[in-house]
Structure 1
Amino acid sequence: MNTAIKVLLLALPLTFATGLAQANNSAEGRWRQIDPDTGRAKSIVEIRRTSNGTLNGRIVELLNPSRPNPVCDKCEDDRKNQPITGMEIIRGMRADGAGKWKGGKILKPDEGKVYNSKMALIEGGRKLEVSGCIAFICKTQVWERL
């Protein structure tokens, strides 16, 4: 076999593995939101990087909603009475070191409340620890990467 072809064949798996490692260092992508009280999946959230470098996330699918086509009737901001599917629930997360973000806000649509938020990749980027906080009291969920 030609030497150039051998080098290419050896380099492809390394390139692929490096790409996966880089993807797992980012919170960008789709996540299954797990309810910590029931252990059941509630929704699929897609997190994307904005033009200013922050991360935002929106619900792309509700899993087993309590009512058809629910809206955020308890919200008090621009999301009031808007459909929860498609709703941006994470806003303004800024990088805080490798695999960590802070300084953003997260909305809990069923309460209509907005909390200070932070996120951290865990388990090699396969899971995302998402916290909503008031003062020093935080509630944390662990989401699974899809």
Structure 2
Amino acid sequence: MLKPRFIVALALGLAFGAPALAQDLTSPAGQWTTIDDETGKPKSIVEIDVANDQLTGKVVQVLWSERGPHPVCEKCDGERKDKPVEGMTIIWDMKKSGDGWEGGTILDPKSGKTYGCKIHLIEGGQKLEVRGFKGISLLGRSQTWVRKAATP
């Protein structure tokens, strides 16, 4: 039989521990599984961070690549040239605008090209629509990323 102290400790742990696992679905901050818009397959895990009114995104894990499990950005310019994609910041300078984020840049590590970027939450914060474009956003393409569940 369980002792009353254990039951109280367990109840307190659940009561105070559960909110720590809860995610703020009104913010894009957190980990996202990127989905290739051409194949529909998961490609990577990107960590989105919001700090100082700016949003950035960094690849934390490559799930699939034509260049193997730990690709480098062969076609990138400058400081990103031939650097590992894992750990690379691929979204930067995004600013809050209405119900989304815009004004920043996104890098396609496969092509080494950068694009203007718009981001907004959809489906109650469970998915993220990421649009990359040159010039105006009508001339671009979108991907839908899926929020990773919080883990204890």
**How many angstroms apart in 1 are the aligned matches of 2:40 and 2:57?**
21
2:130 maps to which residue?
A: 130
1:6 maps to which residue?
A: none
Structure 2 residue ranges without an equivalent (≥5): 1-14
**How many angstroms apart in 1 are the aligned matches of 2:76 and 2:67?**
17
**How many angstroms apart in 2 are the aligned matches of 1:82 and 1:94?**
26
**Counterpart of 2:103 in 1: which secondary structure?**
strand
2:3 maps to which residue?
A: none
1:67 maps to which residue?
A: 67
Once the two structures are superposed, what CA deviation does each residue of 1:66-124 show, in whole Å capped at 9, x if it has no partner? 233211110113211110111100001110123x0001100000100000001000000
- Answering whether residue 86 of structure 2 is matched by residue 105 of structure 1, we say no
**How many angstroms apart in 2 are the aligned matches of 1:123 and 1:133?**
23
**How many angstroms apart in 2 are the aligned matches of 1:139 and 1:59?**
20
**Counterpart of 1:103 in 2: which secondary structure?**
strand
Of 140, 144, 147 in structure 2, the residue corresponding to residue 145 of structure 1 is 147
Once the two structures are superposed, what CA deviation does each residue of 1:9-47 show, in whole Å capped at 9, x if it has no partner? xxx7xxx5xx65xx1111100000001111100000001
Runs of 4+ more than 3 Å apart? none
1:115 maps to which residue?
A: 115
- Answering whether residue 68 of structure 2 is matched by residue 53 of structure 1, we say no
Structure 1 residue ranges without an equivalent (≥5): 1-11
**How many angstroms apart in 2 are the aligned matches of 1:77 and 1:130?**
24
2:42 maps to which residue?
A: 41
**How many angstroms apart in 2 are the aligned matches of 1:61 and 1:38?**
18
Q: Supply the RMSD in Å over aligned alpha carbons.
A: 2.0
2:12 maps to which residue?
A: none
Structure 1 counterpart of 2:57, one-letter code: G
**How many angstroms apart in 2 are the aligned matches of 1:64 and 1:35?**
10
Q: Aligned residues, how many?
A: 129
**How many angstroms apart in 2 are the aligned matches of 1:97 and 1:123?**
17
**How many angstroms apart in 2 are the aligned matches of 1:83 and 1:58?**
12
**How many angstroms apart in 2 are the aligned matches of 1:37 and 1:125?**
23
Q: Output the TM-score relative to the length of structure 2.
A: 0.78
**Counterpart of 1:26 in 2: which secondary structure?**
coil
